Amino acid sequence: MILWLCLFFRPAAAIDINDHLLLELQGGERIEGWYLKTTDQAIVLSVPSTGRATTVPFGVLKAVTINDAPMTLDAFRAELSSEWSKELAWRADPPPHPQPGVVAVSGIFLAGTGHGMLNEWSMGVPMILVDAGFMSVVTIEAAGKGTGRADIFFTAVLLSSIFKAYAVTDGHRRAKRRRERLGLVGR
């Protein structure tokens, strides 16, 4: 309750991806868009009116509004400097970044293993446990040691396939995005 009241009376200043920004520039122009990332000397926005990403240098900023709350330029620059420092630290010690195809193929054998390769265990472990359970039921039924009911066998196969399909596509997407962020596309 106290946190809600603090956020209600004083909006959180931490900038996050897809925050709505309204930038007023020195020449009087205004750019409205969504925060994507920061660089060492500029901010990158997704501008819906143009349908493209736009880079705005810090030196041309006159006023800033984040999520309909005005922010001082000094506080805004400090926030962006903090974000840039986090990005540089992430690049200096990046998480595992295997090829997307390797991550996807590992998810075919056991859902969640590709997420494990990416060191995203909070998503990987539940998928591994559930898929291993379904695969165990399939194995027991196929060996003739289970109930002998075909519906249980096919239901377990179907559910395992659904988990595997999700693991393959999500793992591939995450690995691809991570490699793009590290600038390893095509390598």
Does domain 2-92 match CATH 2.30.30.520? yes
**Residue by residue, what is the 3-state secondary structure of 66-104?**
ECCEEECHHHHHHHHHHHHHHHHHHHHCCCCCCCHHHHH
pLDDT digits (tens, 9 = 90+) for 29-41: 888 888 888 888 8
Query: At 7, is the pLDDT very low, low, confident or very high (cuts 50, 70, 90)?
Result: very low
Q: Domain spans of the chain?
A: 2-92, 100-181
- Listing DSSP states for 124-187 in one string gives HHHHHHHHHHHHHHHHHHHTT-S---HHHHHHHHHHHHHHHHHHHHHHHHHHHHHHHHTT-TT-
pLDDT digits (tens, 9 = 90+) for 45-81: 888 888 888 888 888 888 888 888 888 888 888 888 8
Q: What is the pLDDT of residue 3?
A: 42
Which of 14-18, 35-39, 53-57, 170-174: highest mean pLDDT? Answer: 170-174
